[in-house]
Amino acid sequence: MDKNDKERVVDELTAKLQSAETLFVADYRGLTMPQIDALRGKLIEHGAKLTVVKNTLTRRAAEAAGADALLTLLEGPSAIAFIEADGDMVAVAKALADSAKDTKVLEIRGGVMQGRTISAADVDELAKLPPFDVLRGQVLGAIIGPLQSLLGLVSAPLQNLVGLIDARIEQLQSQGGPAADSAQAEAAEEPEAPGDEPTQADATASAAEDESTEQEQEETE
């Protein structure tokens, strides 16, 4: 590889390191080319690209990209799985773990996640998680479940209150008379105190007093 080719490879690696939020590193010593190709195909299915480059060039790219966390993982021949933005890191970790188990040659060293170094054990734990779609459904279920329960607790008393009000209005309407018309105004108007309005007896007594006064005036004349 001449100097120009090396510079091109370093530039491409630098761009990948700057854009990738998550990557996994593995030692591929002992893998055959068919095994590497098979692993590369599986990773592509899950949104990751496997890159095999000399460590000297990878170190230059890591330094240029400011990816210092990667430098500690570059010991011996290294294969890097760059996970794209829409990739499934859990599925990628599982594919690497399955390859390590099947070939008994591939060795996972660890990775970098959002600028932080993770160990090989961390990658193994990721591989044990459910698939992304299942995991997302579990998370949504854990969030939506309590919200639905809370909504039920809040809406039930309101529904009961509305039911009681409707029942009261129906009761008053079934009794007939002005009570039915005033049922909806009970909450807005306060009942007047007894004695505030003249009764029928008061009206009769007032009329009698007026007649007595007129008679006295006629007798005087």
Cα–Cα nearest to 43, from 1, 92, 10, 6: 92
Tokens 């003249």 -> residue: 198
Express each pLDDT in 20-76 by its tens digit.
889 999 999 999 999 999 999 999 999 999 999 888 999 999 888 888 888 889 888
In whole angstroms, give the CA distance from residue 32 to residue 35.
5
In a domain, 207, yes or no: no
In a domain, 30, yes or no: yes
125 and 28 within one domain: yes
Highest mean pLDDT among 2-11, 85-94, 196-205: 85-94
In whole angstroms, give the CA distance from residue 23 to residue 118.
10
Q: What is the pLDDT of residue 152?
A: 57
Looking at the structure of the chain, the number of domains it has is: 2
79 and 110 within one domain: yes
In whole angstroms, give the CA distance from residue 80 to residue 51.
5
In a domain, 210, yes or no: no
The token duo for 16 is 């990948």
In whole angstroms, give the CA distance from residue 220 to residue 159.
73
In a domain, 102, yes or no: yes
135 and 82 within one domain: no
In whole angstroms, give the CA distance from residue 17 to residue 58.
10
154 and 103 within one domain: no
- Domain containing 135 equals 130-180
Please give the model's pTM, rounded to 2 decimal places.
0.60
In whole angstroms, give the CA distance from residue 88 to residue 108.
17
11 has pLDDT over 80: yes
Q: What is the pLDDT of residue 3?
A: 78
124 and 157 within one domain: no
As a whole number of Å, the CA-based R_g of the chain is: 43
151 and 117 within one domain: no
117 and 64 within one domain: yes
Q: What is the pLDDT of residue 179?
A: 45
Q: Strand order of the sheet with strand 48-52?
A: 48-52, 79-83, 22-27, 107-113, 116-119
139 and 119 within one domain: no
25 and 83 within one domain: yes
55 and 25 within one domain: yes
Q: What is the pLDDT of residue 19?
A: 86
Q: What is the pLDDT of residue 219?
A: 47
Express each pLDDT in 109-166 by its tens digit.
999 988 889 999 999 998 888 766 666 666 666 666 665 555 555 555 555 555 656 6
Q: What is the pLDDT of residue 193?
A: 46
Q: What is the pLDDT of residue 41?
A: 94
137 and 70 within one domain: no
In a domain, 44, yes or no: yes
For residues 168-188, average pLDDT? 58
In a domain, 10, yes or no: yes
Express each pLDDT in 179-220 by its tens digit.
445 545 554 555 444 444 554 545 454 554 555 555 444 444
Q: What is the pLDDT of residue 43?
A: 94
25 and 114 within one domain: yes
